[in-house]
Amino acid sequence: MLILMVDDSPTIRSSVSFCIQNAGYKVVEAVDGQDGLERLEEMKNQGIAPSLIITDVNMPRMDGMTFIENVKKSEFRYLPIMVLTTESEEGLIEKGRALGASGWLLKPFQPEELLWAIKKLVWER
Ligand SMILES: [Mg+2]
């Protein structure tokens, strides 16, 4: 299983990657929403697709909400998207859901919590 993970924090990227790779999954990292779209475009050109996208909300260049909006307009619109953020404001969570996010996990996260959420989102489809 391949997961695209989008976060501007190198610390979060490496802890999420470590956790995902430890569970035997592959991960592609992107540093912001714009970079995330570019990684997806590269995958499309290689004829591959991730099983899941994990994205942060607050990022430079393109934030997580705009990123989700763009993914949902692309051929990757069917992919489950999990938001991993410090933002717990109900309005924002609702907005994310309305845009097409299927899960919301708060930082700091426990590795088991992250893996459980990943499995749930991928198997639910
Ligand atoms: Mg951030």
pLDDT > 70: percent of the chain: 99
pLDDT at residue 54 is higher than 80: yes
104-114 pLDDT per residue, tens = 999 999 999 99
CB atoms within 10 A of CB 71: 25
Q: How far apart are CA 103 and CA 96, in angstroms?
A: 9
The end-to-end CA distance of the chain, in Å, is 14
Tell me: pLDDT of 88 over 90: yes
Q: Cα(57) to centroid of ligand 1, in Å? A: 6
The CA 87 to ligand 1 mean position distance, Å, reads 10
Confidence bin at 124 (pLDDT 50/70/90): confident
- pTM: predicted TM-score of the whole model, two decimal places: 0.97
Directed axis angle between helix 64-72 and helix 33-46, to 10°? 30
How confident is the model over 34-52, as a mean pLDDT?
Answer: 98
Residue 14 has a pLDDT of: 97
Neighbour tally for 25: CB within 10 Å:
19
Helix (H, G, I), strand (E, B) or coil at 83: strand
Between the CA of 14 and the centroid of ligand 1 the distance, in Å, is 13
Question: Looking at this protein, which amino acid is placed at residue 85?
Answer: T
Please state which architecture CATH assigns to domain 2-124: 3-Layer(aba) Sandwich (3.40)
Neighbours of ion ligand 1 (CB under 5 A): 8, 56, 58-59
At 79 the pLDDT is 97
Which pLDDT value is given to residue 125?
A: 65
pLDDT at residue number 77: 97
